[in-house]
Amino acid sequence: MSAGSLSNIQLELLQLYSFNIPDDDLLNIKRFLADYFTAKAIDEADRIWEMRGYNNGTMDKWLNEG
């Protein structure tokens, strides 16, 4: 993607601007996007956690360091 071009998500979101979306719908869209990206972040953290063999003991150790 060049510096002046828009990403696929930007293009999709721009299409929404042609509609007058009620505030309740806009809030729901924001929540949906936040939930979606939160789930992706958690999935990636879980993958790394498992890959590195972390467990609750690891977290306890980290919390008690310092």
pLDDT, position 1: 60
Q: Is residue 48's pLDDT more than 90? A: yes
In the chain, helix, strand, coil percent, each to 5?
Answer: 70, 0, 30
What's the CA gap between 8 and 17, in Å, rounded? 15
Please determine, for residue 66, whether its predicted confidence score (pLDDT) is greater than 80: no
pLDDT of 63 higher than 90:
yes
What pLDDT, on a 0 to 100 scale, did the predictor assign at position 3? Answer: 58
pTM of the predicted model, to two decimals? Answer: 0.66
Q: Per-residue pLDDT tens for 13-46?
A: 888 778 888 999 989 989 999 999 999 999 999 9
